[in-house]
Structure 1
Amino acid sequence: MNRSLQLDRFAIFLSGVCLVHCLVAPIALTLLPIFSLGALVEDIVFHQLMLWIVVPTSLVALFLGCKKHRRWPIALCGAVGIVTLFLVAFLGHDYLTIGAEKAMTTLGGLVLAFSHYLNYRACQSIKCNSSKCTQEHHH
């Protein structure tokens, strides 16, 4: 399978991990208040560490895909998601409420995941230029 498609799948998986973390962490903290003391620090560190994985994966996947299918608005959509995640991870705790921070992180993750989905589909729709090939497949 094409490297871009693998990276798109991985990036969508990472967005899912982030979403689950944002949904489960408040419930876990409510049920286990002993952990709430370090929760804010853990949450900030988690999002910043995830960016070290998400940003390079997303940039490479979107660049490789857009280089093939030439649908650059998909990369722009991904850039909006990345910038949103980056700003929330590094500035959100200073300027947003916890609820707004979670909402913006979720929104940024969904926008980024959607861009990877679009990239994945666009890469799959590329037709082979070979005169002997009548099927659509990955290049």
Structure 2
Amino acid sequence: MFKSLRRHPDIFEHGMGIYDIGADGILRLLTADRDVVVAIALSPRLLKAALDRMPFSQETEDKYRGVDGTKVPKEQWFHPDKIILPEPLSEKSKVESRKRLEENMQLIEERFKKIDDGTFEGCGVIVRSNYNLGPKTSGDESQGPAAE
């Protein structure tokens, strides 16, 4: 999914877009002003796979426990409650982002060229945690990452 979104103008040209997984289980590509450009509903399996790439956080596990983005009405994918979205970038942050993008544009273009011609050798997926996102049952107090 991320590879298919990598060339979107808000990420590549403007350098200020972000990916965000809302508390509703929807992966969104957001502009600097937090308008939704692309939205993908994550099943519990895909949500867990995305979260397992990050270090474990009990707060994160609690936030996404029992969430299934595929059950969210499609209209809400693109027009969620504003509380779900991160704050828009400040003007100062936008200026800093543009500056970083300009400083690194040559490296970015070289990487995309290598990806396109098949010579880029990225690292594989690194699993850093093992979230338990299943529904809570009575007496089910989380104790860190789920056992394998």
Q: TM-score, normalised by structure 1?
A: 0.26
> More strand per residue: 1 or 2?
2
> More helix per residue: 1 or 2?
1
Which structure has more relative contact order (CA 8 Å, sep 6+)? It is 1
Q: TM-score, normalised by structure 2?
A: 0.25
